[in-house]
A and B are shown apart, each in its own frame.
Chain A
Amino acid sequence: MITFRRKHPCHPHHDAAYNGGSVRLEGAYKEMLETGRNRLVLCAALFAIAFAALSLRLVDVTVISQPREPQLDRADRPVILPLERADILDRNGVLLATSLTTASLYADPKEVRDPEAAARQLVTVLPELKMAEVVGKLSSERRFVWLQRTLTPRQEYEVNRLGIPGFYFQREDRRVYPHGVLTAHVVGFTNVDNQGMAGIERHFEDTLSKGGAPLVLSLDLRIQHVLREELLDGMREFRAHAAGGVVLDARTGEVLALVSLPDFDANKAGEASDDARFNRVTLGVYEMGSIFKVFTAAMALETGTSKLTSSYDATQPLHIARFTISDYHAKRRWLTVPEIFMYSSNIGAARMALEAGGAVQERFLRRLGLLSPAKIELSETGTPEYPALWRPINTMTIAFGHGVSVEPLQVAASTAAVVDGGILHDPTLLKRRAGEGASGVRVISERTSDEMRRLMRLVVTDGTAKEGAIPGYLLGGKTGTAEKAVRHGYAKKELLSSFVGAFPITKPKYVVLAFFDEPHGTAKTHGYATGGWTAVPVVNRVVQRIAPILGVMPVDEKDPDVEKALWVQINPQERKLALN
């Protein structure tokens, strides 16, 4: 600027040297120059202000507001696969349910020029579609028609290769159950819109639909498989109408396996019958029969009305009102408590319960949770049925498991409480975290629990469950054979045969329950269809197969410590008879 001014010949005021020069500017010409100069100054001032503002902003940006080096904000942002619905895993991390993205084919009929030709081409790739139907859809006036939901990647490729204009794919998440049949009753299933309709899928709908971390169940798929296979074999062998079973961790209440037969494929839940979808272990309520003697004996021993040495009159069947209570394995004499338990004497159990009293019995069963729905993470839980008015006749029949209907799962959980030191844990389908203490309620004393273990071992060594003796594994339990209730009274031939076992009985870790609905005797079982002949061999095989998986070490039954832990005074004479 300065140089410019100096050199300019017609600069009017500032330089005195020019004032005395020969050139004088006057009039209009001077005014023009003046205006030009003023404009120039104005422009210069504006530019100066703009540059000053820029400089200030530069200082502000680089020095004041962000003194450090600018940071990269996108470089290491993690990429995670967005899941619409969380996975479900078993306790060992095996995938039980997941969502896969599939393509669904739809068309915009307006854009399809020749419906006939397009349909003809399409059915060559998707043979399950009907030609006429597709033509109808493609000729319709609508702008959107579904042609086929959930294509496989190969089908998608093939359709794409046809290159028919107006065909589009819609990405959809579809729930897939790799072990569809095996865990159908526990995991449940979803509908087309991925909403849980049954089982865990329904109970944890809110959590699962948020996506995120997978849900880990307490199930062990290997044990589930063993239980299902053996129950299925048993069901076929005894031509039973239905069957069910459960394996519980006695210490924590975790359900390791839960099988209800007949079952269905969760991937095709819509095609399953109501009968197959019915969860017999949690939703079904049954009169469980003599298994209830476990609770009768525990109650009598706990309240002190009976001791292991007490004996009861079982010489004659009991007649009460219009009922007669008789024994299946009748001995027709006085029986001690261990004898009542091992021979499964109804008369003896009825007398034991009567001595304790109906009010005590009701309170005891309620404390064991047998009179309320199971607190399990399933929507399908049945409500137990029991008499509103607890009369003596009810007390007597309930003593051997008739007149009260309960969920098999609750029976397993209550048995676990009886054998495992008397602490009741609510059964759960969720895996407990390592170190998480399982809280429970004490229902019977340590001492009663110990006595019950001896009695339950006796049933296997000398009683109704001799089929359950396994070399190396100390199984103890109680059989049950209930006559199913029909319109008037009970059907002699329609049975619910069951067995609940715990092993190793010296220090129970696992409880196994199996039951068959209306089994039939075979030549191998001498025509018997009772719990001892049907459910016991099944539990026996299940325990033999799962014990190595669960890491239960075999023990020597002749070991003095073991014998001492399981010794029980029956009746010296009787023992000899029983062994014959």
Chain B
Amino acid sequence: MMRRAVWLWLCVALGLGFGVYELKLQVQGLEQRLAKANRDILADEEAIHVLKAEWSYLNEPERIDTLARKYLDMVPLAGGQYGSFDALAERGDGADAGPNAAQPATPSLPVPVARPKPPKGNRVTLARETQ
């Protein structure tokens, strides 16, 4: 009778001990993962920080300007090339569906129907030589 009780308690104690040990191991593992995650976050943040600086550097207006001149077939926006919604003719007011329906604010300038193609080295529109 007594022996059985002793064995029972011993088993319980062993079981509990093992459980606690297992739990502690798990917590340790989690803590390690957490610490690693925090370290990774810090490393990533540092990388992002560097990338932000690099992004800003790559966005230098002069560089973009040079690249745009080299690869894009565009000229700077002029005053007559855009307007507000108020300047648009009302629909059904006898206005055509064509591009001339939208009269820009300054009628003296042509409506940009097609993308203008400046001749090479045109200084008037670009106002600057390409280096």
Contact = CB atoms under 8 A, between A and B. Distances in A.
B-side binding surface: helix, strand, loop or mixed?
helix
Contact of A548 (B54, B77, B108): B77
A81 B49 contact: yes
Interface magnitude class on chain B: 35 or more
A98 B79 contact: no
Interface string A537-555: 0000100110110000111
Given A221-B61, A544-B78, A471 B56 contact: no
A471 B57 CA distance: 35
A94 B128 contact: no
Contacts of B41: 79
Given A553-B105, A554-B79, A178 B53 contact: yes
Contacts of B79: 470-473, 544, 547-548, 554
Interface in B37-79: 38, 41-42, 45-46, 49-50, 52-57, 59-62, 65, 76-79
Contacts of B78: 472, 544
Contacts of B84: 553
A121 interface: no
B53 A176 contact: yes
A556 interface: yes
A225 interface: yes
A81 B105 contact: no
A-side binding surface: helix, strand, loop or mixed?
mixed
Contacts of A98: 49, 52-53, 56
B119 interface: no
Interface of B: 31, 34, 38, 41-42, 45-46, 49-50, 52-57, 59-62, 65, 76-80, 82-84, 104-109, 127-128
A95 B56 contact: yes
Which of the listed residues A470, A472, A547, A557 has the most CB atoms from chain B within 10 Å of its own CB?
A472
A81 B80 contact: no
Given A553-B83, A556-B105, 20 more contacts: A74-B31, A74-B34, A81-B46, A94-B56, A95-B53, A95-B55, A96-B56, A100-B49, A176-B53, A225-B62, A225-B65, A471-B79, A472-B105, A541-B127, A544-B78, A545-B76, A554-B79, A554-B80, A554-B83, A555-B106
Interface residues of A, number: 36
B80 A471 contact: yes
Which of the listed residues B38, B56, B65, B104 has the most CB atoms from chain A within 10 Å of its own CB?
B56
B56 A179 contact: yes
B107 A225 contact: no
Contacts of A467: none
Contacts of A75: 34
A233 B128 contact: yes
14 contacts: A74-B34, A94-B59, A95-B55, A98-B56, A176-B53, A472-B78, A472-B79, A541-B127, A548-B76, A553-B105, A554-B80, A554-B105, A555-B105, A556-B105
Contacts of A225: 61-62, 65
A232 B78 CA distance: 21
